[in-house]
Amino acid sequence: MPKIMEIIAKETRGTSYNTFKYSFDSIGLPSIVYDDDSDKIMKWQDSAETVKHIKPVDLKQLADTIVEEKPLINYFLDGSRHVFKVDDIAYNKQVFPVVAGQIGVGCCKRVDKKMQPEAFYRELVLTLPDKSNADGWDDVAYFASKAKKLNESEELKRLGLSFSAIIPYATSKNGAPEAKLEDRAIGIIQDYMIESEKRMVVELVKKKLLGQDSYLLKDGSLEYKVMKSGREDMRTLQKIKHNYNWVIGVSKSFNPESCMDHTGKANSKYITELPVYHRTPVARFENRDFLGDVQFCVWYIRLRDKSRTQTPFDGVVKVEKIMMDEEIENGIDSDVIDLISANIINERNPTCYGTDKRWANHLYPVFLTESYVKSKYISSELFLNLF
């Protein structure tokens, strides 16, 4: 039975070199920033809440008061991808990398204090250089036809697998002469994963599972950049932001240098000195070039005493929420911010200490959701053997 690269080479009239296959995760991924806008300026004076706090807010009493109540956060979403270099292929005497990835997006829900799966997407994606469409056909139709042909292979049918998409990456150096082709291909797969996350949120909203008493916590940032490809109705947050009314993003790692004081100077010390069980004031930011016409509110919460962690930022999480139309002028209700924050504090235990090195910043339901998603991957050996 022909391997995937044999089929691709034949269908696109390229030359496969059957080169060494490896996982980018095993060698360290290129430093592509998708989770955060590194150029944003977020000033504390640009308040995004109704009470203009100037000092950290103590949430210990509120967290203790609501600990026996029904949690505000009941759904947890995580997306991840494993990306592989699977071959090199030549077109017109030029050699280009072929990159493939497994994408997993999962959502777990809490019912009677127990976690159980709600939804899961597994996507297999292949990226080829745009030169593989030598005849200049419409890219969408061309690569869809190649994916269909690929999925007809006996090997994929035998294993019950299929590729969700074959997507081209740009090979021209115009506009980004320093960008490596592998990085561009990885970026394509990352974008596809983000679209899958958006699609899952849309499905949860359609099922009316989210509301003011049932929030979704998304692992990582909500700062989805404007996408040039993918579904037209999901390319910008502006088109789907109302689906995120009951969604918060919680990041375990973040760039504290993006926080500026009222003079424009870095104010990361404010986060490192945040007392345990306190939150910062809520800052507002927007970046039309990166995020489109959407405003965010952002704040930080310290979950653990810094004397018990290794670095000053261990035990601190960044929280994001998209501001709805009526909240842009006056800010989000500070009582709502406090309630969300207190619920996040109450999610800090139990810990995954010894199981995940990010334990100090990890919320246990998120850890379980991550573990669920990773358990659904097919093995790297099997995946690479397809090619």
Answer yes or no: do 64 and 94 share one domain.
no
Is residue 124 one of the residues assigned to a domain?
A: yes
pLDDT digits (tens, 9 = 90+) for 81-125: 999 999 999 999 899 999 999 999 999 999 988 999 999 999 999
Q: Which domain holds residue 344?
A: 35-72+213-348
Higher pLDDT, 259 or 66: 66
Given a cut of 80, whether residue 256 has pLDDT beyond it is no
pLDDT digits (tens, 9 = 90+) for 46-55: 788 999 898 8
Answer yes or no: do 125 and 273 share one domain.
no
Question: Which run of H or of E encompasses 299?
Answer: strand 296-302
Looking at this protein, which amino acid is placed at residue 145?
Answer: S
Is residue 41 one of the residues assigned to a domain?
A: yes
Domain count, the chain: 2
62-76, 79-93, 169-183, 336-350: lowest mean pLDDT where?
A: 169-183
Higher pLDDT, 36 or 202: 202
Answer yes or no: do 98 and 57 share one domain.
no
Answer yes or no: do 11 and 42 share one domain.
no
Given a cut of 50, whether residue 30 has pLDDT beyond it is no
Joined tokens for residue 145: 């036809």
Higher pLDDT, 230 or 121: 121
Given a cut of 60, whether residue 67 has pLDDT beyond it is yes
H-only helix segments in the chain: 4-12, 60-65, 139-151, 154-159, 181-206, 237-240, 268-272, 288-291, 327-330, 334-346, 364-375, 380-385
Question: Which run of H or of E encompasses 165?
Answer: strand 165-169
Beta bridge partners of 366: none
348/366 Cα distance (integer angstroms): 10
Is residue 297 one of the residues assigned to a domain?
A: yes
Burial of 56 (0-12, 13-18, 19+ CB in 10 A): buried
274/283 Cα distance (integer angstroms): 15
